[in-house]
Structure 1
Amino acid sequence: MVKLTMEAEERKAEREAERAAKQAEAEIALAEKKLLLAHELSLKELEIKARQSESSSDGGSIHAGPAGGRKVLIPENVVPNYVVGDDIDKWLTASEVALRAHGRAIGGGLVVFNAFASFAVDLCGFGSSCPAVCIVACFSGISLVIAVSVQSSCLLLLAIHLLLVRIMASRKVTTQQVVCMLFESSSDHDYDTDSASEAEEEAGDSGSEFSVREYSSDEEATLSADEGPVLEEDIDVPRVQKPGAEGFPIRRPDTWIAPNIEQPQLPAFTGLPGCRVNTENFLPVHFFHLFMDDVFLEEIVEQTNVYAEQYLRDNAVRLKPQSRATQWVPTYLEEMKRFLGLSFLMGLIRKPSLASYWSTSPLMATVIFPATMTRNRYLLLLRMLHFVDNALALPRDHPDCDRLFKIRPVLDHFVDHFSEVYVPGKEISVDESLVLFKGRLVFKQYISSKKARYGIKLYLLPESSTGYVYNFRVYTGRDSSIDPPGCPATFGVSEKIVWELARRLFNKGHHLYVDNFYIGVQLFTELFRVDTVACGTIHSNRKGYPRELVCKKLERGQCSALRNNELLALKFSDRRDVYMLSTIHDESTSPVAVWGQVAEVRKPACILDYNRHMGGVDRVDQRLEPYTALRKSYVWYKKLALHLFHLATFNAFIVYKDCSPESRMTFVKFQESVIECLIVVEPARVPRVEVVEDVARLKDRHFPDHIPPTPKKELPTKKCRVCARRSIRRESRMYCPECPSKPGLCVPGCYRSYHTKNNFWEIP
């Protein structure tokens, strides 16, 4: 019996708790409505009263709190009755602290408790004699207010405050509006439903239940001024919206509606794609010189000689007499061309090491290398290769220090020439490439999807159809700054990169394709304003992307779309959900054949075009990677420079194909033609490449001769080829002029062994 009685009492207590909870919810809803209607109907009146309160003789003080000079008007008539005497100033100061406590943490709202204590207590029906203690803690954008009172019903006071915080966080009211509402006594106004209905009708189709005034940046500056009252005049600055594309209504930036299956009005393409220079009677090497002319190569020659002098001067004591560096002589233009030609040829003829290109082994011999330049000279040029004077470098701790200083002239030269020689077609893309480098480098990147995985990252803007690189930028670290002209200040780093790469093509109607690393709603909106439309995949959690589209469940093969002026947001369900953003396409679909399926599958046009035009950077990598001459031992800036030289050769090939569409020359043949012109500066010195050293030395007739004098030596010598293979260091004045490599040989023993034995190094 006792148990049944206890259960009945528990059920009764639960019902009473439920009724109390419902009553509290109703009171909170009523309080929310009263607060919002008070703002809607009485904002101007409250501002006038605030100004009158300041100028009156018995009330109003401007108290400067700890907010760095900002002054907020707190009328003295809102001080609770329990605050008397000298405590009034302390209460006002505490209120100022509460008003300024993390004022920006919740989107412009204020954490206020003491300032509306009397108003909230009157609302609860306890008069103004209820003591309360306020603890305000602001951290990580969260405002926490704990009210401690002798009255348990003051929990409603906390609920009202949390309600205000929620309203301010949702941007329905501003900071100054909340201050005005809280400083006005609740007993001075009566709220009627008819007035509220009239306010709702005045709001029209604004999209929200209540129309709230928004303050511009100029008004906020006025509110934070050091002199004069806080509310000087009622200035209403309307929101300025630029019109959308033709046929699109002007809507709020966050308003997404169902599309109308109509093709958006796109800006006309006014670019003139193709080569900008006269290329009549041009050979392949002339196209190469469009990007690497003699002026550019002369600058490299000059800086290489300057660095060699600095190196020899700074290391004169440390260098040994037999060091290769002590044999340095200044280089010149023709020699630099031969050096570049051999470097390009190493990409076509792959060998395990640099020294193997000068090998005399029957299996590894390539006679063009020793016939063009000695191994030591090539390695010495590679060691001294330089592009800028080190004396001009700033210290690493200097704020203007450039991490790309070592290669800055090369970067600037190619950025200018790539955009001056050729104009890409309508479809372009932005993506990243990676130059393999595994050494120590502060801006080295890891990209798992790239073949190199580790290296120096380049942002490229190529033409989608050919892969011609119109512009590029080198990534130098997360702390690097980029501020392209005309770029909105609110852009993130990835959006600024797109703006920097594409800004030379603005106002021409280009179609830009980007992936989800660079894409953003604001970026596409700003690009549309400069007559550049864009399309790309996007992360579902990007700012401004419609949440209702992300949350919508789709079956495989289905798609859904929303439109906001020129922006089209689309979700397509395939093996996974794909999110697209485009200012080019509508929501139409096209049938495509899928491998392994009999029936065709319909896919959105934006996805099909994205897959078709996004591969510009991949096309560049596929063309360059099989013929790269980069070596593991290269310093990072030399490795990057040689990669850019190779990229310039590829761009020259694209221009050649554009100017000679009937030509069937491949990229390999184009490189061979350029290399031959760079290497064969002195045709008489180059032997017939089809003659192999070991075949030539064992047939025909060979007659020894003295090594001819050179400009620096009247009686020059060479290492004996046979003695060197026997690990004997011996110089000879005689050589064989008929052999392709013109080896030095001791006469008569070594000379006879070299021309009569296969293994000439074996001692009889």
Structure 2
Amino acid sequence: MATNAWFRVYPPEPDENLDQMRTNPGTKNMPRRNSAPITYFYLMFSISLLKKIVKETNRYANQVIQKKIREHTYHASSRLRLWTKLGKLTLAELKGFLATIFNMGIVRKPTIPMYWVKRSSQQTIWFRKIFSRNRFQLILRFFHLVDNRKTPQRNSDHYNPAAWFKPIVDHANMQFKRYYTPNRELSIDESLVGTKARTVMTQNIPTKAHKFGIKLWMLVEATSGYIIHFLPYRGKRYDPVPANDTQGSHIVKKLMTEADLFHKNYHVFCDNFFTSIPLVRHLKTLRTYFTGTLRANRQMPESLRNPQLRENESLFIRQREIMCVAYKERQNRTTVRFVTSAVKASTPAHGHKPVVSTVYSKYMGGFDLNDMMSGIYDDKRKTKTMWKRLAINIFHRMVLKAYILYTKNTDGKLLSRLEFIQSVIDALAAEQIENRQHRDRNVPAANRPQRIEKLERGKQKNCIVCSRFNQRRRASTKCGKCNKGIHGMCFNQHVCEE
């Protein structure tokens, strides 16, 4: 019989153990056991990353303000003047900004200004303690990861649509692998970060909850959902598929290569978008096992393409280490096809479903677990800038990975994920809240404005704050304490004079 021929096999085949893994799965480079949640946060968000964000955010804010000045559009009432008045972003403020983003995932409100309303039925005091609304929105506006002047623009041959968030992708991938070695079973699939931003990276996947968004290819540990490596899909033009290969097959090879997991006897699970028999053969030469479902239009033996199966009947065919399975659960159901290099032909003692189907269902769910857990405390806030939506989504995924590390390095009773995030938020916000309280204490209580009042109809006064910049700015409201004219947006900058 030819060695490359396919032949039918019948269960049960002799069971054989898979080759021993060449790595020691589990956590590594961990802090001492039972450390506080904030310690695990800093494993993902290193101080060097936070300082880089502070630097690039301040750089971009300066670029915007200088451009406004050159174009004579830096108006006296512009909110940008508040940035100049309060000074550059500090490390404490950035930590407070991240705490606010994470808290918005727990405390959901329809718009950002709603977090700062003072109406008794809707107010949330914590947000006013950490930032003024204007300061938070300015930080969100200027939030940056790269220097725009060094980033090739759209008309350049070197343009990269992912350049604005590439630093956080590279950092996250490095930290994910630095602190954890996965167990044998891995799963690969696509995740969609919902956005309708008009960009070359926007994809339409009708089967996903969001339909439109930025696609992420992800390699995760099947049992815990821990991300090992992920890649953003930049579109056909910027991520072409090599000749004589499929996109799914190319992505599997790329993820495993960049994660450095070949030749270590890992077992990869994929759905039918990624699976092909040539891919299984190729991975076998790289000492990597594979199990996945197979599309009817992919290369396969004819006996597998059109099997004549009755209800609860299976067909097993083999070519050396590779086995294909066709299974029909019910007469009105489509035949499901599997290909595997790890599972033998077998069925359970009480039942008809092949074991490969049970194993696939068990371990392919790891990706769905990751997506589900990532979305619970992500408020999915819409932004005008696509890459900021994606960067914030990655931040939430990094916090989730910090929690997984915490659970694996902590004895006794564990905090729930919600309690873990709340602890991280409190630790991040503490310094910023203290700084704001200290600044407020330096203003005598008698000089603090208390309320804003409307002037009589038709009456106006010069705004005491923004009219100081060599230009009269009229306001129809006044400070309720000193009766000076004041705009609502200028109220937080006003100090009553004695």
- Do these two structures clear the TM 0.5 threshold for a shared fold by scoring above it? yes
Q: Is 1:283 matched with 2:39?
A: no
CA-CA distance at 1:709 after TM superposition: 4.9
Q: What is the letter of the counterpart of residue 746 of structure 1?
A: G
1:120 is matched with none
Q: Does 1:269 align with 2:21?
A: yes
| Structure 1 contact 264–566 (Cα < 8 Å) conserved | no
> How far is 1:747 from its partner?
3.9
Aligned residue for 1:590, secondary structure, equals coil
With over 3 angstroms needed to count, the CA separation of the structure-2 counterparts of 1:719 and 1:617, relative to structure 1, is: farther
* 1:512 correspondence with 2:265: no
Give ranges in structure 2 of 5+ residues lacking alignment.
Answer: 466-477, 485-498
Q: Which residues of structure 1 form unaligned runs of 5+?
A: 1-204, 208-250, 592-599, 688-705, 734-743, 751-764
Tell me the amino acid that sits aligned with residue 262 of structure 2.
Answer: F
Out of 240, 248, 253, the position equivalent to 1:499 is 253
Quote how far apart the aligned CAs of 1:567 are. 0.7
Q: Please tell me the residue identity of whatever aligns with 1:534.
A: F
Which residue pairs with 2:50 in the alignment?
Answer: 297
How far has the Cα of 1:552 moved from its partner? 2.1
User: Partner of 2:405 in structure 1?
Assistant: 655
Aligned residue in 2 for 1:692: none
Q: Indicate if the aligned counterparts of 2:115 and 2:127 stay in contact, CA closer than 8 A.
A: yes
Task: Give the stretch that moved more between structures: 279-288 or 314-323.
Answer: 314-323
Alignment of 1:532-571 (within 5 A): 532-543=288-299, 545-571=300-326
CA deviation after TM superposition for structure 1 residue 403, in Å: 1.2
Cα deviation per residue 1:699-750 (whole Å; 9 max; x = unaligned)?
xxxxxxx97657xxx99976552427999989899xxxxxxxxxx9734999
Aligned 8 A contact 1:491 1:523 in 2: no
Letter in 1 for 2:375: E
- Letter of the 1:532 counterpart: T
1:423–1:726 distance in 2 versus 1, CA, 3 Å: farther
- Structure 1 pair 708/664, CA: closer, same or farther in 2 (3 Å)? closer
Q: Secondary structure at the match of 1:442?
A: coil
Distance (Å, rounded) in 1 between the aligned partners of 2:367 and 2:152: 34
**Cα distance 1:563–1:264, how it changes in 2: closer, same or farther (>3 A)?**
farther
Match 2:80 to one of 307, 311, 325: 325
Q: CA RMSD in A?
A: 2.9
The whole-number CA distance in structure 1 between the counterparts of 2:111 and 2:125 is 16
Which residue identity lines up with residue 315 of structure 1 in the other structure?
Answer: K
In the other structure, the counterpart of 1:481 is 239
> What SS is found at the alignment partner of 2:44?
coil
Question: 1: distance between equivalents of 2:449 and 2:463?
Answer: 5
- Structure 2 counterpart of 1:238: none
Q: What is the CA distance between 1:259 and its match in structure 2?
A: 2.5
Change (3 A) 1:606 1:729: farther
* Structure 1 residues 521 and 717: CA distance shift in structure 2, 3 A: farther
Larger radius of gyration: 1
For the residues of structure 2 that align with 1:686 and 1:719, how far apart are their CA atoms?
A: 16
In the alignment, residue 287 of structure 1 is paired with which amino acid?
Answer: Y
Amino acid at match of 2:140: L
Aligned match for 2:139, one of 376, 381, 399 = 381
Give the distance between the partners of 1:427 and 1:638, measured in 2 at CA.
32
d(CA) in 1 for partners of 2:462, 2:352: 78
Q: Deviations along 1:430-483, whole A, 9 cap, x unmatched?
A: 011111101212121122222112111111111111111111010111223368
1:723 to 453, 460, 473: 453
Shift of 1:353: 0.8
Change (3 A) 1:322 1:745: closer
Contact kept, 8 Å, 2:449 with 2:481, in 1: the verdict is no
**How much has 1:346 moved relative to structure 2?**
0.4
In structure 2, give the amino acid aligned to 1:396.
R
| 1:533 Cα offset (Å) | 0.3
**1:460 aligned counterpart, secondary structure:** strand
- Given that residues 482 and 496 in structure 1 are in contact (C-alpha distance below 8 angstroms), is that contact kept between their aligned partners in structure 2? no
Whether 1:589 and 2:347 are equivalent positions in the alignment is yes
Instruction: Label 1:392 to 1:718 Cα distance change in 2 as closer, same or farther (>3 A).
Output: farther
1:419 maps to amino acid: K
Aligned to 1:410: 168
- Is the contact made by 2:403 and 2:417 (CA closer than 8 Å) also made in structure 1? yes
- TM-superposed CA distance for 1:325, in Å, is 1.6
Is residue 433–residue 457 contact of structure 1 (8 Å, CA) maintained in 2? yes
Q: CA deviation at 1:686?
A: 8.2
Quote the offset at 1:668 in angstroms: 0.6
**Aligned match for 1:450, one of 202, 205, 208:** 208
2:64 aligned to which of 311, 330, 334: 311
- TM-superposed deviation, 1:682: 5.2
- Mapped contact 2:201–2:214 kept (Cα < 8 A): yes
Aligned AA (1:638): K
1:107-164 per-position Cα deviation (integer Å, ceiling 9, x unaligned): xxxxxxxxxxxxxxxxxxxxxxxxxxxxxxxxxxxxxxxxxxxxxxxxxxxxxxxxxx
Higher relative contact order (CA 8 A, sep 6+): 2
DSSP 3-state at the match of 2:164? helix
Matching residue of 2:386: 636
Name the SS for the 1:290 alignment partner. Answer: helix
Instruction: For 2:205, give the aligned amino acid.
Output: I
Does residue 607 (structure 1) correspond to residue 357 (structure 2)? The answer is: yes
Aligned residues: 456
Deviation at 1:310, TM superposition (A): 1.0
Deviation of 1:278 (Å): 2.9
